[in-house]
């Protein structure tokens, strides 16, 4: 689009009058830019958001370095608000608290004294009670501030100067991660190991053409503050880091503690991100003591099964976390004979001790624009930023050294001509100008000479000047060499990164080990059962097959709909009048001793929707789904299955049409016979019926005259079909062989022929 507005380069038009639409658009874009760049997203250079950057800078200005005495947090917040960040004090304090929490940041930047909250969601104490100072690792961001490394801008009222960005010596954005929601974009950057990231930077400096696969050998994945275990495959992790977006699977780490008399208990020592001991305890409580859902009168079958399964395994759970162990969740089994792997799998599958961790590498680049980047791009951009920072620092130091050399050269003039210098000063009304003319000095040198003390004219001081001048000249040559040689500058950056990595690096906390996702498996005995369905949708199951249908009893006003002989491992499907299908495991059906349960208690049906038909059978069984308008298609039960209680949309219904009772299509089915209420009969080849695994509208199976519609649809086997009806006031049956059906066979979407039988009220039955 040629007229598309650039979000970060909105230019104002010169006309004094503007339209309301343009003004609203510009105002919203300004707001969006403010949120994106000034609040929500971190900078790739120092990895900080503006409020975090201002907190660190304010504390540095207050002299709260790692070795300093901590001060009240309220003092820090006051300085931050008064000088740099005129926003809410609670918001600034919350940002400060997070930077001090070891369970939030992999490498905390603030050393907090007092109650700074807990992993279980407890809030920090008020700012008047807590104290704070910077941690040693914060020097990676602040040490080079006064060396011309970054630009400074006026604060909100122009009374102070604040840095645009901090001169980070390591890519802090990757080390501590970041999380934020902006306008139209969000970020979720996980934390990483300092040593690994530093090694990746060094490798990339040595080989700028490093491939992503080689980079992943150095940085195999996130390194969470709480440890835990990554169970995603290296291929999945590499794909996420290559695209900059995705989610990895993480789980808790645990150990078994042996106890007396052969007893044991499971102790969880590490939890994945966004999970706490309190959260896990609440999830266990919800399973073992579930609440009736809104709009329901009793617990659902799923809730009852989950409760029974958990209580059969778990005897007790308690939180023993404290000073000695930040995470210690103890699970006691019902009996020591329970399989340990099954016990762990049930806990992982039913709680947040295993789950997904989102990754979305969105940040503001060195060009000032937000963008989703992959890991390689982030490191490359940070190295460009670091190279520029070191270059500016070197240039700044060179200017300082050159100035000092200039001053020392002037002092050497004094040292070599001390008597004449003194005489010139004593005899001149303007000694500065006299010195400049007599000894060819600059104004800077002359000013320094006039400010010298007499003690600096001693012989020993002269020797010191000579030595310092020599050292400064050597330093000058070295700094000039760095600026003139990119290779030398690169070697210096590598050396500094390696030094910082050695000083602040630590071991990886998160174990990366591929494992299968924990899944709840309800062990079902495979046995023959008969599913009994009433006209009003009440379900029950009786063991075995070949039961007499006439023996089944139903509630008053209800009656028999169908009985399906299947297996306990099969699935039941309910079909709603809105085209949605709902699946229920046959194993979860109540016993046939009572009246059973309605299907509406087992699935979540939309208001105003009715379950019109119910079928059951193995997943591979195929069924014909037909609409009263003549449309239809075939599908397997596995196609109609859904994990959601709310089911899924499967049949696209036409207006004023209904779904007819589904027809089972056994493997020996060769043809489909269709009879209309107008006595038109058509037999088509089963191959003409379209199979739609994803559901849909289907194709026209039979065309009708006005006001005509389907009366019957049935599958035709090799033996043909059976017709029953009334002949001379007697009920008779007549076999219609496959050969006799030839005259009625045709292509689909035809009207068929009139069915001629020697009976009235004919009903067709499959064989």
Cβ proximity of 320 and 314 under 8 Å: no
DSSP 337: T
Cβ proximity of 47 and 109 under 8 Å: no
The candidate with the shortest Cα–Cα distance to 378, out of 743, 43, 34, 24, is: 43
The three-class DSSP label of residue 311 is helix
Cβ proximity of 326 and 225 under 8 Å: no
Cβ proximity of 572 and 616 under 8 Å: yes
129 assigned to active site: yes
Residue 253, phi then psi, degrees to nearest 5: -115, 145
**What whole-number distance in Å separates Cα of residue 372 and Cα of residue 189?**
11
Both tokens of residue 207?
């080989």
Cβ proximity of 424 and 432 under 8 Å: no
Given the residues 129, 385, 561, 727, select the one marked as catalytic: 129
- DSSP per position, 257-283: EE-GGG-EEEEEEE--TT--HHHHHHH
Cβ proximity of 396 and 147 under 8 Å: yes
**What whole-number distance in Å separates Cα of residue 540 and Cα of residue 515?**
39
**What whole-number distance in Å separates Cα of residue 717 and Cα of residue 161?**
89
The candidate with the shortest Cα–Cα distance to 188, out of 361, 379, 39, 44, is: 361
Q: How far is CA 95 from CA 51, 123, 161, 363, in A?
A: 7, 12, 21, 18
Cβ proximity of 421 and 435 under 8 Å: yes
Please state whether beta strands 186-189 and 314-319 pair in parallel, antiparallel, or not at all (unpaired).
Answer: unpaired
**Exposure string over 52-62, b if 16+ CB within 10 A, otherwise e:** bbbbbbbbbeb
Residues paired with 72 in a beta bridge? 131
What is the torsion angle, in degrees rounded to the nearest 10, for the CA atoms of residue 104, residue 108, residue 109 and residue 110? 90
Cβ proximity of 717 and 767 under 8 Å: yes
**Which stretches of 551-608 are assigned E, i.e. beta strand?**
560-567, 571-576, 580-585, 597-598
- Please identify every residue annotated as catalytic: 129
């Amino acid at each position: 689009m040629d007229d598309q507005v650039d979000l970060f380069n909105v230019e104002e038009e010169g006309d004094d009058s503007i339209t309301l639409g343009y003004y609203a658009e510009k105002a919203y874009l300004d707001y969006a830019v403010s949120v994106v760049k000034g609040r929500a997203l971190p900078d790739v250079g120092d990895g900080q958001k503006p409020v975090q950057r201002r907190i660190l800078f304010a504390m540095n200005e207050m002299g709260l370095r790692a070795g300093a005495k901590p001060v009240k947090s309220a003092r820090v917040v006051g300085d931050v608000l008064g000088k740099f960040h005129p926003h809410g004090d609670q918001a600034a304090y919350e940002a400060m608290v997070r930077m001090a929490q070891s369970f939030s940041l992999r490498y905390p930047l603030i050393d907090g004294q007092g109650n700074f909250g807990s992993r279980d969601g407890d809030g920090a104490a008020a700012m008047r009670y807590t104290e704070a100072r910077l941690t040693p690792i914060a020097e990676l961001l602040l040490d080079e501030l006064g060396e011309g490394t970054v630009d400074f801008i006026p604060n909100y009222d122009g009374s102070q100067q604040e840095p645009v960005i901090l001169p980070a010596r390591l890519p802090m954005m990757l080390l501590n991660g970041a999380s934020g929601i902006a306008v139209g974009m969000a970020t979720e950057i996980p934390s990483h190991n300092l040593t690994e990231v530093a090694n990746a930077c060094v490798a990339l400096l040595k080989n700028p053409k490093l491939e992503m696969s080689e980079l992943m050998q150095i940085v195999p994945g996130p390194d969470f503050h709480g440890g835990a275990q990554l169970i995603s495959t290296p291929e999945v992790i590499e794909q996420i880091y290559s695209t900059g977006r995705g989610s990895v699977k993480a789980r808790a780490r645990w150990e078994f503690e042996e106890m007396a008399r052969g007893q044991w208990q499971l102790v969880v020592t590490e939890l994945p991100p966004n999970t706490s001991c309190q959260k896990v305890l609440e999830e266990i409580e919800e399973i073992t003591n579930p609440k009736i859902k809104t709009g329901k009168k009793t617990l659902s079958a799923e809730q009852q099964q989950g409760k029974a399964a958990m209580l059969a395994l778990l005897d007790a759970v308690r939180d023993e976390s404290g000073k000695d162990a930040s995470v210690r969740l103890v699970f006691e089994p019902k009996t020591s004979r329970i399989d340990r792997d099954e016990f762990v799998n049930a806990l992982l599958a039913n709680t947040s001790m295993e789950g997904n961790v989102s990754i979305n590498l969105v940040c503001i680049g060195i060009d000032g624009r937000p963008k989703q980047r992959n890991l390689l791009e982030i490191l490359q951009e940070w190295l460009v930023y670091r190279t520029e920072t070191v270059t500016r620092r070197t240039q700044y130091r060179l200017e300082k050294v050159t100035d000092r050399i200039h001053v020392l050269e002037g002092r050497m003039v004094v040292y070599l001509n001390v008597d004449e210098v003194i005489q010139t000063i004593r005899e001149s009304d303007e000694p500065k100008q006299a010195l400049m003319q007599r000894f060819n000095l600059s104004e800077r040198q002359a000013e320094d000479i006039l400010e010298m003390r007499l003690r600096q004219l001693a012989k020993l001081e002269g020797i010191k000047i000579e030595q310092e001048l020599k050292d400064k000249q050597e330093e000058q040559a070295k700094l000039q060499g760095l600026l003139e040689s990119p290779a030398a500058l690169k070697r210096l950056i590598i050396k500094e990164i390696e030094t910082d990595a050695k000083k602040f690096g630590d071991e990886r906390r998160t174990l990366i080990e591929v494992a299968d996702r924990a899944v709840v498996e309800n062990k079902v005995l495979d046995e023959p059962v008969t599913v009994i369905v009433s006209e009003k949708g009440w379900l029950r199951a009786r063991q075995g097959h070949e039961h007499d249908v006439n023996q089944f009893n139903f509630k008053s006003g209800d009656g028999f709909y169908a009985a399906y002989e299947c297996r306990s491992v099969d699935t039941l499907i309910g079909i709603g009048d809105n085209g949605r299908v709902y699946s229920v495991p046959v194993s979860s059906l109540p016993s046939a001793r009572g009246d059973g349960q309605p299907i509406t208690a087992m699935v979540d049906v939309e208001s105003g929707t009715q379950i019109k038909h119910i079928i059951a059978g193995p997943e591979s069984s195929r069924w014909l789904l037909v609409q009263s308008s003549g449309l239809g298609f075939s599908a397997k039960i596995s196609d109609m299955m859904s994990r959601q209680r709310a089911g899924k949309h499967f049949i696209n219904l036409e207006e004023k049409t209904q779904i007819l009772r589904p027809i089972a299509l056994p493997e020996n089915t060769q043809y489909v016979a269709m009879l209309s209420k107008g006595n038109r009969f058509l037999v088509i080849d089963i191959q003409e019926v379209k199979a739609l695994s994803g559901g849909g509208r289907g194709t026209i199976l039979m065309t009708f005259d006005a006001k005509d519609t389907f009366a019957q649809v049935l599958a035709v086997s090799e033996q043909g079909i059976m017709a029953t009806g009334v002949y001379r006031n007697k009920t008779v049956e007549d076999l219609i062989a496959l050969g006799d059906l030839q005259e009625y066979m045709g292509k689909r979407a035809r009207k068929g022929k009139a069915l001629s039988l020697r009976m009235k009220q004919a009903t067709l039955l499959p064989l």
